[in-house]
């Protein structure tokens, strides 16, 4: 289980709160709004923005820097597509959801107040979009649903490809959960979000998140009983 990330390098000197202003050539004011790391999640060789922290890229993109936004798309796109595929079960719909979410983010960025990180904000947009898409009355094409487990649940599953079969069984069991439970479980267990971030993403209290996670685990352990 991943816990909330701790601040790293506690011993590192903090920025001075009141730098000696007159000695500085302009009017530098230090507002330690939380240190940013230079090396967040590098994507080597992607582009010149590859080593910039999300916080900087977000400010730049908010001022119309499309190169900065492109770096954010490359950094977060894969994770968000994985999320949308799990939430929707259909690769085409998932790509549409992620594309729409990023374009909507690009338009909203000038008003983005950074009460959450860019990543959490995108999780929120994609999750909401997927949950809304699922509320539309439509049928999922059967051939895009996750593959059923090949093993008969009543018998002991074979050792060979057991983990793949278990993953497939879990994937199907997820579809038996309601969309809200499924979203909370996926955000926690497949994406490692904190309870607080999940609460922000799905728009409910942390306590509700904990309750949903418990119910999701309860249902999933039941469904996975043949794999004990």
Partner 1 sequence: MALDDPHPRPTPDDTPARPDRPGSGSRPETDAGLDFGSERLPCGRPLARVWEQARAPATAAIDPHTTGCAFCREAIEGLAALDRATRALRAEDRPDDHSLADRIISAVRAETRLGAMLLLDDPDRNRRIAESTAAKVLRRAADSIPGARAASCRLSPVQEGDTWHTVSMTIAAALDDPLPQLAEEVRGAVLGAAHHMLGLAVAAVDLTINAVLEPPAPAVDDNP
> Interface residues for partner 1 in 35-54 (CB under 8 A)?
35-39, 42, 48, 52-53
Q: Rule CB under 8 A: is residue 114 a binding residue for partner 1?
A: no
Specify the residue, 76 or 197, whose C-beta has the smaller distance to partner 1.
76
Please write down the long-range contacts of 134-141, taking CB distance under 8 Å and 24 or more positions apart.
Answer: 134/87, 134/88, 134/179, 140/89, 140/90, 141/90
> Cβ of residue 47: shortest distance to partner 1, in angstroms?
10
Quick check: 91 and 44 in contact, CB under 8 A? no
Contact (Cβ atoms closer than 8 angstroms) between residue 133 and residue 88: yes
Site string for partner 1, 166-185 (x = CB under 8 A): xx-xxx--------x-----
Q: Are 54 and 118 in contact (CB under 8 A)?
A: yes
When binding is defined by CB under 8 A, the residue of 87, 88, 90, 98 that contacts partner 1 is 98
Query: What's the closest the beta carbon of residue 154 comes to partner 1, in angstroms?
Result: 16
Interface with partner 1 by CB under 8 A: which range of 96-104, 116-124, 133-141? Answer: 96-104
**Which residue among 69, 118, 123, 195 contacts partner 1 (CB under 8 A)?**
69
Q: Are 76 and 118 in contact (CB under 8 A)?
A: yes
Phi, psi of 101 (to 5 degrees): -65, -45
Cβ distance 80 to 183 under 8 Å?
no
User: CB of residue 138 vs partner 1: minimum separation in angstroms?
Assistant: 22
Binders of partner 1 in range 5-24 (CB under 8 A): 8-9, 12-15, 19, 23-24
Is position 29 an interface residue for partner 1 (rule: CB under 8 A)?
yes
Regarding 207 and contact with partner 1 (CB under 8 A), the answer is yes
Contact between 214 and partner 1 by CB under 8 A: the answer reads: yes
DSSP conformation class of 73: H
Say if CB 158 and CB 192 are below 8 A apart.
no
At residue 128's C-alpha, the angle toward residues 127 and 132, to 5°, is 120
Q: How far is the CB of 133 from partner 1 (least distance, A)?
A: 17
Q: Using CB under 8 A, pick the residue from 74, 144, 179, 194 that binds partner 1.
A: 74
Q: Determine, following the binding rule CB under 8 A, whether residue 131 of this chain makes contact with partner 1.
A: no
Tokens of 162: 């057991």
């Amino acid at each position: 289980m991943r816990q909330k990330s701790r601040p790293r390098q506690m011993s590192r000197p903090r920025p001075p709160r009141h730098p000696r202003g007159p000695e500085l050539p302009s009017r530098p004011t230090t507002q330690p709004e939380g240190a940013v790391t230079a090396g967040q999640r590098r994507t080597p060789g992607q582009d010149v923005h590859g080593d910039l922290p999300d916080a900087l890229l977000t400010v730049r993109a908010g001022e119309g820097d499309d190169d900065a936004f492109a770096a954010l798309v490359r950094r977060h796109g894969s994770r968000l597509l994985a999320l949308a595929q799990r939430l929707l079960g259909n690769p085409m719909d998932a790509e549409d959801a992620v594309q729409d979410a990023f374009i909507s983010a690009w338009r909203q960025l000038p008003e983005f107040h950074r009460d959450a990180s860019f990543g959490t904000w995108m999780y929120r947009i994609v999750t909401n979009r997927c949950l809304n898409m699922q509320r539309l009355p439509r049928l999922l094409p059967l051939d895009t649903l996750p593959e059923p487990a090949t093993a008969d649940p009543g018998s002991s599953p074979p050792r060979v490809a057991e983990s793949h079969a278990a993953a497939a069984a879990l994937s199907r069991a997820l579809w038996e959960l309601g969309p809200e439970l499924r979203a909370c479980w996926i955000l926690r267990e497949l994406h490692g979000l904190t309870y607080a971030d999940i609460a922000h993403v799905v728009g409910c209290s942390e306590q509700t998140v904990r309750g949903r996670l418990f119910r999701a685990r309860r249902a999933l352990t039941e469904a996975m009983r043949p794999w004990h």
